[in-house]
Amino acid sequence: MKRATALPDLCPCGLPSAYPQCCGRWHHGPAHLQAPDAQALMRSRYSAYVLDELDYLLRTWHPDTRPATLEPNETGTRWLGLDVRHHTRLDADHEIVEFVARVHLHGRATRIHETSRFERMTGQWLYVDGTT
């Protein structure tokens, strides 16, 4: 899938880092390079939504809940920021991340407040699902 957005200098995930050294390393790095925990994966997935990195989103989605396809951002969508509220490790292979993402769409600012479940399978953290 083609990315519709140019790569930024600063990472969209909210950390004070350059994109290539932050989420960009997970999006475009070698396949063996994986986010070390669920919070890093969640931040990289937020950045992937901002940048229409749809292949990355699908690749990091648990196979039991992964959709067949994803659509790019609608024209005019502006992602406004991410606030990670909590990151909880349940055991070695299960973590929960609560976050609030802000987005402007159709002339209206919206907040997405989600508690997401993540599972590590064969060494890779994957997004399972979330409750809003």
CA dihedral sign, ordered 78, 10, 27, 22 = negative
Tell me the average pLDDT across 15-31. 91
Six-digit token string for 50: 């901002």
Q: Which CATH class is domain 19-131?
A: alpha beta
The rounded percent of the chain whose pLDDT value lies above 70 is 95
Identify the helix (H) or strand (E) that includes residue 51: helix 38-51
Contact 118, 94 (CB under 8 A): yes
Nearest CA-CA partner of 56 in 78, 84, 23:
23
The rounded percent of the chain whose pLDDT value lies above 90 is 86
Residue 101 has pLDDT above 90, yes or no: yes
Strand order in the sheet with 124-131: 78-91, 94-105, 108-121, 124-131
